[in-house]
Amino acid sequence: MSIFDFLDLLGTASFAISGALFAIKKRMDTFGVLIIAFVTAVGGGTLRDILINADSITWMSNINYIYTIFIAVLFAIVFRKKIGYLSKSMFLFDTIGLGIFTIVGTEIGLQNGFHPIICISLGMITATFGGVIRDTLSNEIPLIFQKEIYATTCMLGAVTYLILEKYDVDQNINHIITTIMVIIIRLVAVKFKLKLPTFYNH
């Protein structure tokens, strides 16, 4: 297993745990927890695969994704009280998934020979649209459409990844550096409440 495949599964697990904790917080039943975890984990990747007309949907052609989601959901349910405050844990796992999936989507764009702008878009879609589906199903305004810095973090990470790729930085090192950078930017943005401007008139 390459580091790319490992990161992809790690991102899947992180988003699945985040989605499961979100559903638990919403007091959903077991089926609801599983569904929300599933769409959070693979929703963005599924949309990406459809957009690029991939030969197959990633999670449908590799059963390891399904196993990973089930294990992650079980972990979230069993250890929900030991993980700590749900909101903090959910944010942590969501941030990890955000960093990993940004790079996964960007790399898949490169592998398919797309223009850098399209690669950046694919990175953002892969990382954020699972959360969009999760929030929509839960009757919440998706985080990506609010003023909190979220999608912007993915774009910065994808741009960094492409720059390092252009200068022939080792791919594994590039994956790790850029993923960590996205996570740090997201943590800093939330810590210091950095937000994009809105145009609502009181």
pTM, two decimals, is 0.92
The answer as to whether 196 is a domain residue is no
User: Would 197 be classed as within a structural domain?
Assistant: no
The per-residue pLDDT for 33 is: 97
pLDDT for the residue numbered 147: 62
pLDDT digits (tens, 9 = 90+) for 115-143: 999 999 999 999 999 999 999 999 998 88
Alpha-carbon torsion, ordered 46, 50, 56, 59, to 10 deg: 0
Domain that holds residue 13: 3-191
Total number of domains in the chain: 1
Confidence bin at 11 (pLDDT 50/70/90): very high
Cα angle: 120, vertex 122, 128; to 5 degrees: 100
Does residue 198 form part of some domain? no
